[in-house]
Structure 1
């Protein structure tokens, strides 16, 4: 679902080293004020900003490589903990997750889909795509309606204004939350920071600094 994502950071150089050298992912664009890292079928661009910004996003990984990737990640960055554990199984998604933070403080989740297997060693291809993008908004109902109007379905029956709301399908979702809700497996409360997302097919969503979403088409 996610073709490309743009985040902002005040730690551009450290982020470029982290994703290129520590996680060993492909950097496809380098410029003075930005870089793009290829995460499977999704391009993630970090743009230099003048203030601290952090996000939550998740990356799909093969379910059968979850344990191997956990050891691989732990050699590079500490995992986050919640209630005495450093991983969790989500029955509703039939998936296992682990979490860590990058140099900008983004809460990054690796989701092992148990019905999606890739055989062989850990490589860049083990990072399949962006699975979730957190949308921290000023009004969950209004933002949700914008996503619904673009044809994205809600996982569940009703929007929950104070909780996580998964909007999308398959293994790709926007995670719609209000400002101030704590991100799972972290000590961070969700904050509103601008971002841009382009879906496969060309629909573009922009979240502004006020926590409002706008939608347009890139013409693809």
Structure 2
């Protein structure tokens, strides 16, 4: 499974564009009055404006080369404020064999850089730039109908990572380990790791493998369909 594209909703498009394109330096692919799109390695992120009275909160992760984690963390520290947990600014996930660090974007979405040691390629360089981002590694689907969403994903061949049990109080990782991308299914009100923000059921559209579209509406309705 590859996360080809995702659409996230934004309260202030100008500030969000400034953050991703100017502060971090992502390539701007397209823009209009109500949206803009950036390249995230082989993936694309579409940011679309919406009414600021509609609550939302996102978490997503971006894959980076396996050998550039410390370089990427240093680069981030020069551009944004990295998040800390228990006085640590990074974490190692044994299940994924991966190192991660976290930061907020301009609307306090929780963004993660993840360097999967056994999956992500290495590169022959001692420096890091945003051009080294490989693709979208993870995107969370916040829902209070976790079993329903997981069962629907299973019908399309997207199954829990390593056969793990479905969890209603935490994150359930969906997708094969070797594919380097996962959908995270989690409940509302959960506190994001390395953060003080609570998960909120938020509108989102995701395209997987160029042909499968997953959507959650602002009211929490989940749909999945072939493109």
**Smaller-chain TM-score bracket:** over 0.9
1:139 to 124, 145, 167: 145
1:58 aligns to 2:61 (yes or no)? yes
Which sections of structure 1, spanning at least 5 residues, go unmatched? none
Q: In proportion to residue count, which structure has more strand?
A: 1
The alpha-carbon deviation at position 30 of structure 1 amounts to 1.0
Q: What secondary structure, in the 3-state scheme, does the structure 2 residue paired with 1:89 have?
A: strand
Contact kept, 8 Å, 2:72 with 2:129, in 1: the verdict is no
Structure 1 residue 149: Cα displacement:
1.0
Distance 1:132 1:60 in 2: 8
For residues 32-71 of structure 1, the aligned pairs below 5 Å read: 32-51=33-52, 52-71=55-74
Of 80, 84, 87, the residue aligned with 1:81 is: 84
2-structure distance, mates of 1:21, 1:119? 26
Question: Are the aligned partners of 1:4 and 1:197 in contact in 2 as well (CA < 8 Å)?
Answer: yes
Residue of 167, 179, 196 corresponding to 2:174: 167
Q: Shift of residue 212 of structure 1?
A: 2.5
Aligned match of 1:97: 100
CA distance, structure 2, for counterparts of residue 179 and residue 124 of structure 1: 31
CA distance in 2 between partners of 1:107 and 1:68 (Å): 20
- Residue 152 of structure 1 corresponds to 158
- How far the C-alpha of 1:53 sits from its partner, in A, is 2.5
Q: Which stretches of structure 1, 4 residues or more, deviate above 6 A after TM superposition? A: none
- The structural deviation recorded for 1:122 is 2.0
Distance in 1, Cα, partners of 2:78 & 2:86? 22
* Structure 2 Cα separation of the partners of residues 62 and 213 of structure 1: 33
Per-residue deviation at 1:11?
Answer: 1.7
Matched residue pairs, number? 218
1:182 pairs, out of 191, 195, 204, with 191
Structure 2 residue matching 1:93: 3-state secondary structure: coil
Return the alpha-carbon distance in structure 1 between the equivalents of residues 153 and 117 of structure 2.
28
Does the aligned pair in 2 maintain the 1:136–1:176 contact within 8 Å? Answer: yes
**Residue in 2 aligned with 1:192?**
201
Trace 1:18-33 onto structure 2 (pairs within 5 A).
Answer: 18-33=19-34
Mapped to 1, the partners of 2:152 and 2:221 lie a distance apart of 10
> Partners of 1:44 and 1:201 in 2: how far apart?
13
2:123 match: 118
